Structure 1
Amino acid sequence: MHTLAQLRAGQLSGITRLDLACGLTEFPREIFELADSLEILNLSGNQLDTLPDDLYRLPHLRVLFCSDNRFTELPECLGRCSALTMVGFKANQIEHVTSAALPPLLRWLILTDNRISHLPDELGRRPHLQKLMLAGNRLRALPQSLAQCHRLELLRVSANQLAELPSWLLELPSLSWLAYAGNPLEIEADDEALHVAMPIDWSQLSLQRSVGEGASGVIHQALWQPPGRAARDVAVKLYKGQMTSDGSPLHEMHACITAGKHPNLIEVLGQVNGHPEQQAGLVMALIGPDYRNLAGLPSLASCTRDVYADELRLEAEVALRIARGIASVMAHLHRQGITHGDLYGHNILYNDHGDCLLGDFGAASFHAPVDDRQTRALQRIEVRAFGILLGELLARIDPALGIEDLARVQDLEARCCQPNVLARPGFDEIEDLLHDRDERACPRRAL
């Protein structure tokens, strides 16, 4: 984090990224002295409500973050920034977005947790739009012009007031990650599922160290001492209870419980009861230290694509075991009427044998568990996400598969990613295809 004193003293000359969070109420004009180099400007966590009309004087500005400020409208000066591709105004008080505020090269727009009830048709006339995050607003409809956004891959519209998902949305050829929980359109899950999760009294839990933190909550390693039974090590996830980029953490908890048991899911042992601050939480099985994340989160540059370690190489058997495990758990979720919404390598834990666990239900949504056109489309949107994951696994196989086997799996990848949404295979078929391939390639080891 930089300081205003450094900026005013001319100590930041030549930097490409500036981060300022120091209670700003006005845009520091000294930022224009960085015009020759500045590409990323982060002014989140201040008290700004306007930006200068001449922001275009930063000709290299590609990324602008202004989250957690006091904006009531998306500044129209953004539309005159010719190089700007990513705009983030999460957790403001924005009610108005005009067409003039949309940069021509817009690729990634974050307007999560605001008060927006209407978006301009001009949004659909941004051909580079790839990632659109609108959870936690007041939208009753989406601009029909978004049907033209054939590059749109990730859409978050959870916790709005949408009464339906338009048919054109479910036909977008590149859409792979969709979250829509907490809207009137969503099929409600059976509340009885919540009662299946055993209540675990807070007094039985002894929190130890934090083992992870995400947008929705913090995970702790803990000791659970059930009455009259031996103590056991567990993981406790305490939810923050605030809107995330995916949606409501409480929707995530609901989906985790409703998902039930599967070998490729982290087991839910119970629901926290009696937290002193009434914080919601889940008690889950503790994952062994031999498990690790398959990938890292997408970067500013990759946008919708995970970042993998350069050195990551997988044996063919391990990669295909991961693929089959994920196909199996996705088929299970779809049978429960759940879309995961965030099927990514960074949400997969795996070990050296290819055992894997799918986590993070923050973008999960419920749909009718029936075989109709909308349900098939929702499920096959996720099939494209699986196809992308399958391609990422194939790219890291060492040594390579035999030519025949490689061609079969590459053909499956292509079928999963084809632009015709309803022509993609379902996860039951995908699982069968991978099972057949694995048995032929690895007859001595059941996968």
Structure 2
Amino acid sequence: MNSVKFIPVDLLFDEEGTIAADVVSPSSVLLLPAGLHLQSLRKTHPGALNLLRNHGITKIPVKKAVFFTIEEFRNVLRRVQPPVSLLNPLAAQVAAHQMEVVYSHIRNRAVREKGIRTLITLGNTLCRQVKKTPQITLSLGEDAERKQTPFLHGINVSLLAGHIAGRIFPLWPGFTESVTVAGLLHDIGKSFLLPFSDGQGRKTSVPDRQAIHTHSLLGEALLRDAGVTAQDVLSAVRSHHESWDGSGYPDGLVGEAIPVGARIVAVANFFENLVSTCDSRGKKRSDQAVSSLLATANGRFDKFIVRALLASVGLFPPGAVVELSDGRRGVVLESKERDLVRPRVLLVTGEESEKDAIPAVIDLKTTANVFIRQVYDDYGKMTVPPLRREGRSSVLFRKYHAPSSMG
């Protein structure tokens, strides 16, 4: 077990570990949240010591903990036997670049039409990658500088939507491909509304909420104009903001009247937004996103599709850093569909994870008397480095040809 000790405020930055309990002021204002790593505190809030002193705080409860970075986690992950399947980072880089080209030159019809066709082929490529990646949230991408972009958002929604569709309809590969493509293109209508460059350095103004509500219709129109005829793609893009109770837009569809593909993209879009949302302590953890999805699912989403996603990510999604009941720490690799609270965990601390040894992966379902005591953070999201374009920002990747059905 990790012991908790009280550290004088003046010595706090000399220690390693995490805040063991919420630190509040005499007037009940939260100053430091429990679970915050001191290493992170030093970097992000160098004035924290003065803040504590000003509120009369003299000692802080600290629990010893091993702090590890994403890079360290990746190094451990590479030594796991058998290997853990992850998305090919190049696929995400190419897709992100292609989406940026299309969004930034959306008013150039020639670039737009060619770009949409290329994105459809890339969507099919992502679909094939999804089939190889059961630990789906370990493959969600984020910018190298941790900035959320509409391009990576589209890729993440595409991965999640394709994953859900593949689980629900394993015998319908064509439908899964269509849903994956729709996830990639679901927000393309926003490219006419949000401030992206038009290729000549000009920016459009930020629209109001009513205008944003037209983006799904605009997206469908753009795809039709580019020659897209796949009804599953078009309906999912048009209807991904419809709600199960009829309160959505643009058509106010209710329940089963909402196309299945649109229902899947809606759940994937909502979950990805939750994971990527920043709060006062940084990005929301996947387990918090699961809780939020459960809390808001009633009336808004198809419960069957929500259950399909939750069965994939579990209550402790892949990438979540957890502490076990015996004091060891690890990263969740995969959840069991019928046992959401006992996933497989890659050990990062403890005797079984010596630096030079093959990392141990334990299955909590078959490990007696060991359970997850608390969740710390997410380390699963794949960092996507910027793709060098050497000044040719409007270049389309010519090796991706349009599908024959697209003309």
TM > 0.5: no
Higher relative contact order (CA 8 A, sep 6+): 2
Which of the two has greater helix per residue? 2
Shorter-chain TM-score bucket reads under 0.3
